[in-house]
Amino acid sequence: MTENRTIVIEPLTKSGFAPFGQVLTVEGAHHYPINGGMTERYHDLADVALAGENARPLISIFRGQPYALPLTLKMVERHPLGSQAFMPLSARPFLAIVAPDAGGTPQRPRAFLVPSGIGINIGINVWHGVLTALDAESDFLVVDRGGDGNNLEEHFFKEHYTVRMP
């Protein structure tokens, strides 16, 4: 008998997502005023990790087309040389699909519903799904790694998963 290949989307929490990276939110963040008290700085929200030859941070905007649910998950990827942060520029939720690793192979994925106004930072070498916008085309500010070396590894599941809302 094959295992259940359905992944039920979970609400995003800092503790639930911690094995895979950080949740980017001002809630509970260290903060202080700057610019003569006119701006509040929410400080050090993520562990931006860069490894390898000539590593440098990249700041990009990704424009994601929306996915319909239920979603067929065929592949996950990881970046062995750098973390990858996604901060939505649109007021829309998105999905963060992540998977633990066992000996270089992704295990059963988990899917988190990232609410509007919240971002995520996926840790270095963490298996994850592709950018998964929901509802409408959405822009994301992305901080990841540039530099020498191969920073992309893909894994295609022999049996696909179905990702759905609870």
Residue 91 located in a structural domain: yes
Q: By the 8 A CB rule, do 122 and 20 touch?
A: yes
Report whether 118 contacts 45 (CB < 8 A).
no
Question: Which tokens sit at 58?
Answer: 């990249």
Please report whether residue 1 resides in a domain.
Answer: no
**In terms of Cα–Cα distance, which of 40, 1, 6 is closest to 108?**
6
Domain housing 23: 6-164
- Indicate the pairing of strand 31-34 with strand 132-133: unpaired
pLDDT in tens, 131-162: 999 999 999 999 999 999 999 999 999 999 99
CATH number at residue 106: 2.60.120.480
Across the range 38-60, mean pLDDT stands at: 95
Q: Which range has the worst mean pLDDT, 2-6, 63-67, 76-80, 117-121? A: 2-6
3-state secondary structure of 145: strand
The answer to whether residue 89 is domain-embedded is yes
Tell whether 143 is covered by a domain. Answer: yes
Instruction: Please write the tens of the pLDDT for every residue from 7-43.
Output: 999 999 999 999 999 999 999 999 999 999 999 999 9
Most distant CA pair in the chain, distance:
64
Say if 154 falls within a structural domain. Answer: yes
In a domain? residue 19: yes
The pTM is what?
0.92
Structural domains of the chain, count: 1
Q: Is the pLDDT of residue 1 over 60?
A: no
Residue recorded with tokens 């973390």? 83
Residue 2: pLDDT band by 50, 70, 90 thresholds?
A: low
